[in-house]
A and B are shown apart, each in its own frame.
Chain A
């Protein structure tokens, strides 16, 4: 067995050979590997390599001159398309373009990353970029990095969705100085390139919201954001992306601005600024420069807008408001003399607080100054989620300013580091003689000391968990070189402090993502620098009902996989007698009579009774490996003899893909005594088509229930707020809903809603 000459010479004892044979017959288990890491590191290395290795030699047809831009964008996990489409049958002298398109037929594609298409040959860039179409309808920007077309969706793509990118390759006519008789050949028309890919599957939301109490939260998959040592003042956007301030002169896309999608510049003539504000994905991809020359972004609590400072000169700065596409909404909300002290603070959706030479100032979005008490502020300010209260530390003490009455209420001396929870609780720290005391309360007038640090420990960077069950904070111990920084999670009542993350690392500045699935933080690396990291939060054990939901979904998955593979017996094994009868009588087709079922995913999951779920499953049909249509089944899944079985089924007619926007998920959430129905679409929609007339909830009698309809364009999300009594309802999405191209929903979409008692 031992066939390695070296080993044969070294080990002659048969007993040794037995161990060696065992070693050679096995291999250590493959180490866990984040599939993105390899691509991320490669992109970083290539950016560096192009900077360090590539000599400025003679120009080639393949343009690497814009490599820094390409590299910086590639600093995330760019999608590289790779179908080689070579064009045959054309005259040899005819210019040709080859398209490199690898994403084709890829699955599990991330929803928030740019799409990259590489070209070879003398490509007509203008013609190509004008030909790009994405289905479902998707707004996007595009730019060239050398020979690579980078397509950046304006919003994250929808999950569970088949996308089709179509473009028309076109070759540029080569320049020639030859006489007319030998004129360059005219580029021949080339066939369009069509690329399909499937976005990652979205997790099924839990029925019982998880608790963020300190003993039930942990994290995993630390992910260092590329170039993050150069980034500052990161803030979350409502849809879970980041705005960061980035030096304009780093080796970056910003340095090659002409190649990158840049937002509209500030109208005023500005000198070269030191920083830009970038929209960045949580994978670290710089999506777009949303505020050239900007700094200190502050994201509005809703509406997809942010404020940033533009330093027009060393002694003059302007506060502007832009949307997340980078379009200027208000060019000058306010100005300050000197440099801004920090980010402005949104007071609700339409007012901003900022400091002018250390004095509090409040303006609305028209730039109108709102009268406020003269308060000299030291340190950061924090506004409540409602925008009605502002906590700050002034030279005369810490206060909460009521923005309705403009009256102040005092806080305990030394209060600072304010944090408001989504539910209106206020937390802050007060330095003690040697440590830090942590205060929190249900409102500003009812705060109390809930915890205190050790004697040589200071606490800062308070951050409420999304459900306000706990506070995440940075802890710093020691002095000089013998210091240690860590993150602590403390329950809202001060109990059970727990170290969050590895005790071996140096952490700081924690920030929960809006959805509570990620924590952004700074971490000192081995080289001594500090970078931004994001870690995925794991929230405790699922509730009993969520465990049951998981079991029901697992049985549905077995059922669907059996149908996809054509295993009739295995599919039938998941049905009880009633459901078998229903399928046999034509309620739906167990196996596809024609093209095979390609895939499925759960569109909705509802708990409709004890151990009973209604699961909406979308089943796709493919032809030539491309999904062409789908239908939905509503499966009633019931616990029978300690196992979930499908008990009933209804199905919808088949819907052809590519004919207008479609609903990709429906979720019912309890919201206090009322309900929220969240409806997500696959396409960017025309906001004007979303209304209570096009998005309806009907009761079992067909009567329309009063609902407030709101639309979040960034997330393709329509929310219907309504008060529903226990019973059965129907969500109706009418053909009045249209995407940004004007294409309407092909046919009314309905989905059952069950409100259990």
Chain B
């Protein structure tokens, strides 16, 4: 709790104090960049998205009001919007949507997976999930966000997030043994 009070004070100061905004940046850059990269899988693009997130946050800082969720929730929301904006504006982007089967992976993806150990393999498998499931899984298992916070970030109900997580885990459970059998690895 002291952390959240301290964060609220820092956020309030950041509305008028550049140094406080810099402190927020220092605090949240790693997770926002990591999250952006998990969504776009391209360093240059992740940099673009991260840059856009913090500039948008700065631009709208004075309008930000604390809603009972960590400040990072807002940054994650901006990140998702920035990623979505990018894909809307891009031609030929291949984004796996709901309904795509992981079994239809390109050989290059399989090659990539072969090189990884089991824990890495599970994260590669998450990369192949539909985008909403992927976002929920990354936020929960990669960033340790609460379900309620993920719901705020994704603009969904907590129940919907639970469903996404449940489906994601179920799918991994189904696919991982099959994948490992295909690859001939334990």
Contact = CB atoms under 8 A, between A and B. Distances in A.
B43 A45 contact: no
Interface stretch (A25-33, A280-288, A329-337, A487-495): A25-33
Contact of B16 (A10, A33, A38, A55): A55
Contacts of A48: 55, 58
A19 B25 contact: no
B18 A46 contact: yes
Nearest to A53: B18
B73 interface: no
Given A16-B173, A53-B15, A53-B17, A45 B58 contact: yes
A593 to B, nearest CB: 45
A504 interface: yes
Contacts of B137: 23
Contacts of B86: 526
A6 B147 contact: yes
A526 B34 contact: no
A530 to B, nearest CB: 14
Given A6-B146, A11-B166, A16-B173, A29 B61 contact: no
Interface string A506-550: 000000000000000000011000000000000000000000000
Nearest to B43: A32
B123 A45 contact: no
Interface residues of B, number: 55
Given A50-B18, A222-B44, A526-B85, A20 B169 contact: yes
Interface string B79-92: 00000011001111
A42 interface: yes
Contact-size category for A: 35 or more
Interface string A473-515: 0000000000000000000000000000010100000000000
A86 interface: no
Centre residue among A18, A19, A37 by max chain B CB count within 10 A: A19
Contacts of A525: 48
Interface string A37-81: 110011011101110111100000000000100000000000000
A370 interface: no
B7 interface: no
Interface in B156-176: 162, 165-166, 169-170, 172-173, 176
Nearest to A16: B169
Contacts of A38: 29, 33
Given A22-B122, A31-B34, A526-B89, A15 B58 contact: no
A52 B59 contact: yes
B18 A31 contact: no
Interface string B131-151: 000000110111000110000
A46 B54 CA distance: 11
A28 B125 CA distance: 11
23 contacts: A16-B170, A19-B173, A19-B176, A22-B122, A23-B122, A23-B137, A28-B34, A28-B138, A31-B33, A31-B38, A41-B47, A41-B51, A44-B51, A44-B55, A45-B22, A45-B54, A46-B18, A46-B22, A53-B58, A55-B16, A526-B48, A526-B52, A526-B89
